[in-house]
Amino acid sequence: MRQFDVDRMVAPEEPAVVAMLSRAFYDDPLFGYFVPNLVHQTKGLLGFMHGAVKDAQPFGEVWVAHTDDKVAAAAVWLPPGGYPRSPKREVLTNVRAVPAFTHARGRVRESLKLLAAVDKAHKDVGSPHFYLAVLGSDPLFQRVGAGSAALAPVLARCDEEKLPAYLETQKEANLAYYARHRFEVVRKLEIGPCPPVWTLLREPAT
């Protein structure tokens, strides 16, 4: 495994983080389903990731793994109290994410149903927790420990502060990866013809 330096994101590197996360999700089944056109999908991913990073940035929990002065991976977290979003944050996040759904056309209704189901499942968690909104590694640095390095600071805090961590993933292949970090599947959400979404929870170490 390679060695990575991990720090909180600083404002000047935000564009690099957003671009890297967009590349990381190039083969995401959910975006591929809603926006099959790869050019439109790339633009949509940039809008979606920009919204996620901007929403999390004020909380100071966007952690970036660096190597050779490059952004290798990033973990975008919302701390306890950061979710559900306030009405103002919800509006801003939706506005920033508009490009992600502009070309979904007839699948917009399906996407809204899925997002509602994901939101409801998240709210069912109830207790205070850290929420991993996005985790991504640049394709050049996948499977070499970059994502795990970006995760490490907050997972360590979860254990120290006795707080669970929660996330969703739409790639079944990710389940084994997250299991290595002690995340367990809570629910599999299947809405119509949409690709499934899995919700996962990690209890703090005892």
Per-residue pLDDT of 106-148, as tens digits, reads 677 888 899 899 999 999 998 999 999 999 999 999 999 999 9
- Does the pTM surpass 0.85? The reply is yes
Apex 154 CA angle, 15 and 206, nearest 5: 165
Q: Is the dihedral of CA 54, 57, 198, 175 positive or negative?
A: positive
Q: Measured between alpha carbons, how far is 144 from 206 in angstroms, rounded to an integer? A: 28
Looking at the predicted structure, is the pLDDT value of residue 96 above 80? no
CATH code given to domain 5-108+122-162: 3.40.630.30
Q: Measured between alpha carbons, how far is 172 from 9 in angstroms, rounded to an integer? A: 28
Q: Measured between alpha carbons, how far is 176 from 69 in angstroms, rounded to an integer? A: 30
47: left (phi over 0), alpha (psi -120 to 50) or beta: alpha
User: What 8-state DSSP symbol labels residue 183?
Assistant: -
20-64 pLDDT tens trace: 999 999 999 999 998 888 888 898 899 899 999 999 999 999 999
Cis amide linkage into residue 84, ω under 30° from 0 = yes
The H or E element that residue 100 is part of is helix 87-101
